[in-house]
């Protein structure tokens, strides 16, 4: 049995979450092939399959995994329990499936992003946002914006990074409107992409 088959067998998710997970896997493969052909599309698909592995665990189950794998949750991060699943799923990838750092970090940062994201981290973060099964307005807007940038920009990397920046802006606006905690790494990620795009011809949002 391949590692991919084993992971699919082990997924214990609701029908809706499973559909999303397979959508992210498909999108991650497409993004890797389009923008970062040096990445293994197979590895990106595996990372995507694992990214929400613990998403539907209870908070107590999440905390138990954090204790088991020595995962640090800062007092600020504890204000947003939905941040736990990225860290615990990354630990599952490392300790249960023996996967490498590239996959682990792509899962770890898929919810918050961070400044200086690796190519793999960008792929999983953005695939999670724009996969075809996500129909809420924010995700549809970001997906359409990204597709428009692919047509408008000569450099597909610029199109991708503009799409990611737009998604970060969308997330931050939503969290502000909802009065929710904003992870510092999300703000740092936004500033990083602003700086990157300021040195290219594709700076307009």
Ramachandran angles phi, psi of 50, nearest 5°: -95, -10
Taking only the tens place, the pLDDT of each residue in 149-180 is 999 999 999 999 999 999 999 999 999 999 99
pLDDT confidence tier of residue 204, bands split at 50, 70 and 90: very low
Residue 139 pLDDT > 90: yes
Q: What is the pLDDT of residues 9-61, one digit of tens each?
A: 999 999 999 999 999 999 999 999 999 999 999 999 999 999 999 999 999 99
Confidence of residue 203 (pLDDT cuts 50, 70, 90): very low
Residue range 92-132, pLDDT digits in tens: 999 999 999 999 999 999 999 999 999 999 999 999 999 99
The Cα 115–Cα 95 span in angstroms is: 26
Closest by CA to 46, choosing from 99, 101, 91, is 99
């Amino acid at each position: 049995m391949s590692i991919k088959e084993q992971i699919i067998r082990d997924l214990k998710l609701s029908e809706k979450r499973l559909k999303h997970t397979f959508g992210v896997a498909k999108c991650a493969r497409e993004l890797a092939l389009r923008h970062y052909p040096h990445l293994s599309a197979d590895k990106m698909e595996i990372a995507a399959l694992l990214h929400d592995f613990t998403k539907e665990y209870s908070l107590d189950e999440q905390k138990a995994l954090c204790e088991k794998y020595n995962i640090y949750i800062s007092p600020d991060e504890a204000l947003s329990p939905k941040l736990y699943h990225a860290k615990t799923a990354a630990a599952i990838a490392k300790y249960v499936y023996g996967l490498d750092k590239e996959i682990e970090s792509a899962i770890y940062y898929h919810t918050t992003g961070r400044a200086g994201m690796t190519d793999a981290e960008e792929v999983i973060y953005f695939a999670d946002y724009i996969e075809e099964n996500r129909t809420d307005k924010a995700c549809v807007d970001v997906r359409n914006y990204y597709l428009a940038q692919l047509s408008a920009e000569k450099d597909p990397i610029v199109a991708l990074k503009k799409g990611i920046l737009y998604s970060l802006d969308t997330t931050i606006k939503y969290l502000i409107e909802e009065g929710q905690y904003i992870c510092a790494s999300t703000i740092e990620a936004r500033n990083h992409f602003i700086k990157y795009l300021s040195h290219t011809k594709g700076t307009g949002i």
